[in-house]
Chains A and B, each alone.
Chain A
Amino acid sequence: MELVGHDLNPNRQQLRKPLPGVFKYVIYGTLGLFSAILVMTAVNVVQTTTYANATRKAELEQDRLDRESDRLDKTITDRSLNKEKARRVLDWAELGWHAQSFLVDAMATLPPTIELDELTCELKEGYPQMALTLKLRGSDFAQKQAREAFARSLFEKGILVSESDPTRISNGISTHKLLLSLGSAQAARSEKLVAGKDGRQ
Chain B
Amino acid sequence: MTSFGRYFPIALVFAIMILFASVGLGWSYTAKTEAREELEKSEKEVKLKKIKVSGKKSSMSKDDSLALAIDDFLAKWEPHLDKYEEDDDRITALVNNIDRLAVDYRLATSDKITPASPQKYPFRSETIRVQSIGVTASGELVNALNWLSELESTLPLARIERLSVTGYSKSSVSIALRLSFPVDLIPEPEPEKPAKKKAKKK
A200–B18 contact, CB under 8 A?
Answer: no
Query: Which residue of the partner chain A has the closest CB to B161?
Result: A123
Q: Name B31's closest neighbour in chain A (CB-CB).
A: A48
Cβ of A145 to closest chain B Cβ, rounded Å: 17
Q: Which label, helix, strand, loop or mixed, suits the secondary structure of the A interface?
A: helix
Inter-chain contact B73/A86, CB cutoff 8 Å: yes
A30 to B14, Cβ gap below 8 A?
yes
Q: How many residues of B contact A (CB 8 A)?
A: 66
Q: How does the 8 Å CB contact mask read for A107-141 relative to B, with 1 for contact and 0 for none? A: 10000000111111111011100000000010000
Q: Are B28 and A69 in contact (CB under 8 A)?
A: no
- Whether B169 and A72, one on each chain, are in contact in the complex, defined by CB atoms closer than 8 angstroms, is no
Task: Provide the A5-23 mask, 1 if CB < 8 A to any CB of B, else 0.
Answer: 0000000000000010001
Flag if B166 contacts A62 (CB, 8 Å). no
Assess A123 versus B22: contact at CB under 8 Å? Given A41-B28, A62-B42.
no
Given known pairs A51-B38, A89-B81, A123-B162, the reply for A72 and B53 (CB within 8 Å) is yes
Task: Knowing A48-B35, A73-B56, A95-B159, say if A196 contacts B17 (CB, 8 Å).
Answer: no
A3 within 8 A of B: no
**B74 lies within 8 A of A82 (CB):** yes
Query: Which of B56, B163, B189: most chain A Cβ within 10 A?
Result: B163
CA distance A103 to B137 in the complex (A): 15
Q: Is B87 an interface residue (CB 8 A)?
A: no
A116 and B169 contact, CB distance less than 8 A:
yes
CA–CA, A122 to B162, complex, Å? 4
A38 at the interface (CB under 8 A from B): yes
Pairs A–B under 8 Å by Cβ, sample size 14: A30-B18, A47-B36, A62-B42, A62-B46, A85-B74, A86-B70, A88-B185, A89-B73, A92-B157, A92-B185, A93-B157, A95-B123, A117-B169, A123-B159
Counting from the closest, the 10 A-B pairs by CB-CB distance are A126-B122, A44-B28, A51-B35, A58-B42, A37-B21, A65-B49, A100-B149, A116-B168, A100-B148, A72-B56
